[in-house]
C-alpha cells in the first residue's frame, strides 16, 4: 500500500468515529440519564406554564421518558419557516410538531408529516369536529390530529342591542341596519358599527371567505385547484363588504387592521359589532383591559338571506415527523395531548376551545368558559381554508385581490376577480394540481 493510500485510510479511520458521534447526537434517542427522549417542536404559547404542566404529567405517566421541547418564536410565519427547514433536511431531532390548520396538505405532500391512518383510525376521529379532521386529510390519508379549534365569531355589545330592542343579527344587511340605528341613537361620533380584519394579510382571507361562503357562493375546488371568485354571488359578496362594511358600518381604518387593532377598537367602546377568534373573549371581558367588560355577547357570524353562517376554521394540530426514530412513542404523546382528559385540561387552564365535541356539554368546562355554549354551532359550521399543498402562494393571490377590491371604492370587482381566477388557474397548472382525492369541493356547506 502506498504512503498516500495509507494516509487516506488513516484519515478515514479517524473521521468515521467522529461522524458517528455527530449523527448519534443529531438523532439521539437517549439522554445522559438514560431517559428515552422525545423531541417536540412548537411555537411559543400564550400560557407556557400550562404546557409545562401538561408535559410534566405525560412524563410522570410514562416513566423513563423525557420530552425535549424546542420553542420557536410566537410568529406563525417564522415558526413555519423554521419547522419546514428542519423537515426538509430530514432532521431526526424532530419527533412531534404542531401545525397550523393550513399546513397539513403542504407537509403531507412534501413527505414531512407521517401518515397516521393506523393510529388515528376512523373511530378515533369521530369525536372531533368534522372540519378539523378534514383539514388533516390529504389524498385519503390522515396526517395530523386536532389539538385546538378556532373559528370566526361575532362579538357584540349586548347592552346596546338590548337598549334598542335588537337580537344579534342573522344577516349581514341586518347587522348594517342595526349598527346605523344604534349609532344614530347614541349620537357618539367615536362609535362605529363594525370592526374586523381587512388589512392585506392572512386574516383578510379568513374574513372574506366567511362573507363569500355565507352567501352560498363557492370559493375553491379541491379537485381542480380552481377558484370561483368571478362567479356572480362571490362578486356581490365582495361588493357588499366594500360598500356596506368597509365604506359604511366600519371606519376606513379597518383596511389597516389585523386582530389587535380591530379588537382594541371594540374593547375601548368604539364599535357595536366585532369579528374575531375565540381568544378575544378574555380580553373583551377583562376589566383591566376592556371598557366594555361584562357588556359583551358572542354569536355566529351573519349570513346572507340565501346562505348560511360560516366561520373560517382556525386552530392547531399535532403531527409526527416522517423522519422520527420514535414513532410509537411520538404517537403516544400525540394521543395523550389530544385525548379528552387533556383537551379538558387545556380548556380549564388556558381557556382554549377543545377540538372534541363532547366537551362543549361538560358542566365544568362551561362554568369556566360560559361563552363555549355558543361555540359548538360555530365549529360545526366551520370551513377550512382551501386545502392545497400550495396554499401559501394561493393565499397571496387572494390577499392581493381582496385588498384591491376593498380599498378602491371605484374598483371593477368583476374584472379583478376574473384576473385572480386566471392567476390561481395558472398557479394550479404550474404545480400540476388537479384530480386528486383531497376532499370534497370547497363550498359553503361546512366551518386558523
Distance CA 59, CA 67 (A): 7
pLDDT tens figures, 371-417: 999 999 999 999 999 999 999 999 999 999 999 999 999 999 999 99
Beta strand pairing call for 192-195 and 36-43: unpaired
pLDDT tens figures, 236-250: 999 999 999 998 999
Please state, for a pLDDT cut of 90, what percent of the chain lies above it.
84
Nearest to 362 by CA among 351, 352, 347, 377: 347
More confident residue, 361 or 76: 361
Cell (9 digits) for 283: 380580553
Beta strand pairing call for 271-276 and 382-383: unpaired
Task: Return the sign of the alpha-carbon dihedral for residues 316, 317, 322, 328.
Answer: positive
For residue 447, is pLDDT > 50? no
Task: Identify the pLDDT of residue 223.
Answer: 86
Instruction: State the average pLDDT for the chain.
Output: 90
Task: Identify the pLDDT of residue 46.
Answer: 82
* Positions of E strands within 179-249: 192-195
pLDDT tens figures, 222-234: 889 999 999 999 9
For residue 329, is pLDDT > 50? yes
**What pTM does this model have?**
0.87
Q: Which residues contact 312 (CB under 8 A, 6 or more apart)?
A: 151, 152, 205, 206, 207, 209, 210, 382, 383, 385, 447, 448
pLDDT tens figures, 167-196: 999 999 999 999 999 999 999 999 999 999
Distance CA 397, CA 219 (A): 13
Local structure of 70: helix, strand or coil? strand
The answer to which of 262-276, 302-316, 322-336, 434-448 has the lowest mean pLDDT is 434-448
Task: Return the sign of the alpha-carbon dihedral for residues 94, 100, 101, 102.
Answer: negative
More confident residue, 444 or 48: 48
For residue 80, is pLDDT > 50? yes
* Residue 240 near residue 211, CB atoms below 8 Å: yes
Nearest to 237 by CA among 302, 300, 193, 192: 302
Task: Identify the pLDDT of residue 402.
Answer: 98
* Residue 232 near residue 223, CB atoms below 8 Å: no
Q: pLDDT confidence of 284, banded at 50, 70, 90?
A: very high
CB atoms within 10 A of CB 305: 11
Task: Identify the pLDDT of residue 86.
Answer: 96
pLDDT tens figures, 31-77: 666 789 999 999 888 889 999 999 999 999 999 999 999 998 877 88
User: How far is it between the farthest Cα atoms of the chain?
Assistant: 99
CB atoms within 10 A of CB 374: 17
Return left, alpha or beta for 192; rule: phi > 0 is left, psi -120 to 50 is alpha, else beta: beta
CB atoms within 10 A of CB 276: 23
Amino acid at each position: 500500500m502506498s504512503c498516500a493510500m495509507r494516509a487516506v485510510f488513516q484519515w478515514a479511520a479517524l473521521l468515521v468515529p467522529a461522524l458517528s458521534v455527530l449523527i448519534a447526537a443529531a438523532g439521539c434517542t437517549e439522554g445522559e440519564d438514560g431517559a428515552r427522549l422525545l423531541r417536540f417542536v412548537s411555537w411559543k404559547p400564550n400560557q407556557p406554564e400550562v404546557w409545562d404542566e401538561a408535559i410534566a404529567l405525560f412524563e410522570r405517566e410514562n416513566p423513563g421518558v423525557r420530552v425535549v421541547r424546542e420553542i420557536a418564536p410566537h410568529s406563525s410565519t417564522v415558526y413555519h419557516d423554521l419547522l419546514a427547514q428542519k423537515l426538509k433536511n430530514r432532521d431526526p431531532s424532530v419527533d412531534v410538531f404542531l401545525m397550523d390548520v393550513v399546513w397539513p396538505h403542504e407537509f403531507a405532500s412534501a413527505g414531512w408529516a407521517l401518515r397516521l391512518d393506523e393510529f388515528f383510525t376512523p373511530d378515533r376521529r369521530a369525536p372531533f369536529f368534522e372540519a378539523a379532521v378534514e383539514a388533516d386529510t390529504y389524498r385519503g390519508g390522515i396526517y395530523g390530529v386536532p389539538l385546538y379549534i378556532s373559528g370566526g365569531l361575532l362579538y357584540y355589545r349586548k347592552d346596546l342591542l338590548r337598549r334598542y330592542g335588537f337580537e344579534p343579527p342573522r344577516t349581514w344587511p341586518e347587522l348594517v341596519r342595526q349598527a346605523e340605528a344604534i349609532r344614530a341613537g347614541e349620537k357618539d361620533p367615536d362609535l362605529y358599527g363594525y370592526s374586523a380584519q381587512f388589512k392585506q394579510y392572512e386574516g383578510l382571507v379568513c374574513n372574506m371567505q366567511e362573507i363569500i361562503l355565507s352567501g352560498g357562493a363557492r370559493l375553491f375546488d379541491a379537485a381542480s385547484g380552481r377558484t370561483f371568485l368571478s362567479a356572480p354571488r362571490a362578486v356581490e359578496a365582495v361588493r357588499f363588504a366594500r360598500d356596506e362594511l368597509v365604506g359604511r358600518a366600519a371606519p376606513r381604518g379597518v383596511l389597516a387592521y389585523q386582530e389587535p387593532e380591530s379588537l382594541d377598537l371594540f374593547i375601548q367602546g368604539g364599535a357595536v359589532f366585532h369579528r374575531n377568534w375565540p381568544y378575544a373573549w378574555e380580553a373583551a371581558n377583562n376589566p383591566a383591559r376592556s371598557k366594555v367588560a361584562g357588556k359583551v355577547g358572542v354569536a355566529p357570524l351573519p349570513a346572507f338571506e340565501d346562505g348560511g353562517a360560516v366561520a373560517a376554521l382556525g386552530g392547531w394540530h399535532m403531527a409526527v415527523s416522517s423522519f422520527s426514530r420514535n414513532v410509537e412513542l411520538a404517537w403516544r404523546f400525540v394521543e395523550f395531548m389530544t385525548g379528552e382528559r387533556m383537551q379538558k385540561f387545556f380548556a380549564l387552564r388556558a381557556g382554549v376551545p377543545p377540538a372534541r365535541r363532547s366537551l362543549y356539554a361538560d358542566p365544568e368546562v362551561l362554568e369556566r368558559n360560559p361563552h363555549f355554549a355558543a361555540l359548538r354551532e360555530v365549529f360545526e359550521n366551520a370551513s377550512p381554508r382551501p386545502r392545497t399543498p400550495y396554499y401559501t402562494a394561493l393565499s397571496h393571490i387572494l390577499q392581493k385581490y381582496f385588498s384591491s377590491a376593498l380599498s378602491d371604492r371605484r374598483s371593477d370587482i368583476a374584472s379583478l376577480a376574473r384576473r385572480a381566477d386566471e392567476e390561481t388557474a395558472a398557479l394550479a397548472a404550474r404545480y400540476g394540481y388537479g384530480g386528486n382525492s383531497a376532499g370534497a369541493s370547497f363550498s359553503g356547506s361546512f366551518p386558523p
